Chains A and B, each alone.
Chain A
Amino acid sequence: MATKASRSAARLMISPAVVLLLGWMLVPLSLTIYFSFLRYNLITPGANPFAGWDNYYWFLTDPSFKAAMANTLLLVGGVLLITVVGGILFALLLDQPMWGQGIIRIMAIAPFFVMPTVSGLVWKNMFMNPVNGIFGHIAQGLGLQPLDFFSQIPLLSIILIVSWQWLPFATLILLTALQSLDQEQLEASEMDGAGSFSRFLFIMLPHMARAITVVILIQTIFLLSIFAEILVTTNGGPGVSTTNLTYLIYVSSLLQFDVGMGSAGGVIAIILANIVAIFLMRMIGKNLDA
């Protein structure tokens, strides 16, 4: 509903954004795919011969790939489990009548705004360090052997740190969803004789279902790319026990300078993220129609 003049103005005004994003997407993406078929290492300059599927073969059969995949899944799954369950409970609690809800909310949201390198280092040193960290001090105070988080349970430690960062996000979104629930619906169900548990199960949870799905999908996209927390705490170790796919690709490309191999890994990471993205986009698209 507009005139020809405004339509052509609109095309003109949208084009910078489209051109930039198109370039941003296509150029690196096609280069990554191109590199992934080359034998290309920055340390050994010279010709970069075509390598066929070799890079993919070596990347996929490398034992550290298997470990990285497992770590990635555990990291994403673990954080999702903690943040979604914790987020539902926390949101339910925050939705109750209380004093100072604003301040409590502000405190609970704070971790989301802490930059990843800070939270990684603070947890590693001030909390999880077996000698000087708070957990170490507490264990000593109780007469227990302090836990050396990053050598005994390295991946779980990272899961905990990342969960701390993302729990506020899940809580905030689920709380928003919960607050949009029509009070009359709850009152009607109460009149129908539903107790508080059935109200949660049959009214609140279905109402939150959509928000929960969104939380899961969006977090998955971000969690697949967890990088800084690993870099500053364990460097992927001990061994490869905290190396996820992102970190593995970083190691092979920027530390071992193997462009071909890193690119093959990059393509795999893109495919993996797209599987999640398709579902997410579908949900967003549906909402756009409404």
Chain B
Amino acid sequence: MARNVTTSRKSINTIAAGALGFLMFFPVLWIVILSFKTEGNAIKAPLEILLNTGWTTESYGAVQARSNYFKHFSNSLIISLGSTFLGMLIAIPAAWSMAFVPAKRTKNVLMWMLSTKMLPPVGVLIPIYLIFRDLGILDTRTGLVIVLMLINLPIIVWMLYTYFREIPGEILEAARMDGASLREEVIHVLVPMAIPGMASTVLLNVILAWNEAFWTLNLTAAKAAPLTAFIASYSSPEGLFYAKLSAASVMAIAPILIMGWFSQKQLVRGLTFGAVK
């Protein structure tokens, strides 16, 4: 049972942890603030920015004007949702098989799938680049959807597998006894029961795909560039750009930050492959 903790002790903890948490969060907070300043004000001393400058939303408009921001935003959206959706479609049957009809090899197959995730992307950069060039899918959203689907597939399969395993096999057998075909069993029983797990799988993989910054940078130019690549274009800027960079960044990370906060718990499970519970 909970112990009695003195109020002063609790206050010290709160202050210490709060300060650390705030420090970690500060860069994010800071770009939110800068994104509402004018370019001239954004480079002033921090105290002056906080105390003596007005607020404006002009940077958000400027970002769109500089380069078609919403095109990149929709690229990110399509690529991360598309790759996750495709991955789920392939992973659900695979995870069903491994969780409910385990064979001797199942564990090895699962481990092998995970091992493909350990392959350093740079090790296969050249062949993928050349294959994509020859297929004409360099700098296309299709190409990125395929690559991101493949690199996240092991994680999707793994996460679904661990969620499916928590569903008692007897319930699926009951459905079979009740006259359900395999398809009906999956649609009416497995999927509805696994919805929370599937939702967090989708969430985590959308996050991973959204933030992926190796393939998205190397396989795109102007056309299919998602936000990771678009933001990278600020590394060689012209003129003052702090406020615009902040505005672009805020829009790029806000949706993912919100999703991420919802998926804290699943994050541990998904990224440690169940090694930490």
Contacts and interface: CB of A to CB of B under 8 A. Distances in A.
Q: So, do A and B actually touch in the complex, CB under 8 Å?
A: yes
Interface of A: 1-2, 6-7, 9-11, 13-14, 16-18, 20-21, 24-25, 27-29, 31-32, 35, 90, 93-94, 96-101, 103-127, 131-132, 134, 137-138, 140-141, 164, 167-169, 172-173, 176-177, 180, 210-211, 214, 218, 221, 224-225, 227-228, 231-233, 245-246, 249-250, 253-254, 259, 262-263, 265-267, 269-270, 272-274, 276-277, 280-281, 283-285, 287-289
B198 to A, nearest CB: 16
A71 to B, nearest CB: 14
B10 A9 contact: no
Interface of B: 5, 9-10, 13-14, 16-18, 20-22, 24-25, 27-28, 30-31, 34, 43, 45-46, 90-91, 93-94, 96-98, 100-101, 103, 107, 109-116, 118-131, 150, 153-154, 157, 169, 182, 207, 210-211, 213-214, 217-218, 227-229, 231-232, 234-235, 241-242, 245-246, 249, 252-253, 256-257, 259-261, 264, 267-268, 271-277
Q: Is the interface of B mostly helix, strand, loop or mixed?
A: helix
Given A180-B277, A254-B129, A266-B122, 6 more contacts: A17-B90, A17-B93, A110-B260, A117-B232, A210-B275, A210-B276
Nearest to A140: B45
A107 B10 CA distance: 19
Contacts of B14: 98-100, 104
A24 B126 contact: no
A107 to B, nearest CB: 4
B101 A2 contact: yes
19 contacts: A16-B93, A20-B150, A27-B127, A32-B124, A32-B127, A108-B20, A109-B261, A110-B261, A112-B260, A114-B257, A164-B24, A177-B276, A211-B276, A214-B275, A228-B232, A246-B122, A249-B125, A266-B123, A269-B120
A262 B246 CA distance: 35
A132 B242 contact: yes
Contacts of B267: 112, 172
Nearest to A267: B123
A2 B106 CA distance: 14
Contacts of A13: 93-94, 96-97
A165 B10 CA distance: 28
Contact of A25 (B116, B229, B260): B116
Contacts of B113: 17-18, 21
Given A122-B245, A231-B217, A93 B17 contact: yes
A137 B45 CA distance: 6
B187 to A, nearest CB: 14
B242 A218 contact: no
Given A121-B235, A137-B46, A262-B125, A281 B118 contact: yes
A231 B232 contact: yes
A48 B89 CA distance: 40
Given A107-B24, A134-B30, A211-B276, A115 B122 contact: no
Given A6-B101, A254-B129, A288 B110 contact: yes
**Residue from B96, B120, B231 with most neighbouring chain A CB atoms (10 Å):** B120
Residue of A20, A110, A233 with most partner-chain B CB within 10 A: A110
Nearest to B213: A228
A118 B231 contact: yes
A172 B217 contact: no
A169 B268 CA distance: 8
Contact of B157 (A17, A31, A107, A254): A17
Contact of A28 (B100, B128, B154, B246): B128
A172 B228 contact: no
Given A218-B272, A273-B118, A284-B114, A118 B253 contact: yes
B275 A287 contact: yes
Given A246-B120, A263-B126, A117 B228 contact: yes
Contact of A250 (B125, B241, B246): B125
Contacts of B109: 14, 18
Contacts of B114: 281, 284
A129 B182 CA distance: 61
Contacts of A287: 274-275
B94 A16 contact: yes
Contacts of A140: 45
Given A20-B153, A254-B125, A227 B213 contact: yes
Given A16-B90, A173-B276, A107 B25 contact: yes
- Which residue among B16, B157, B211, B227 has the maximum number of chain A CB atoms within 10 Å of its CB? B211
Contact of A122 (B24, B249, B273): B249
Contacts of B154: 21
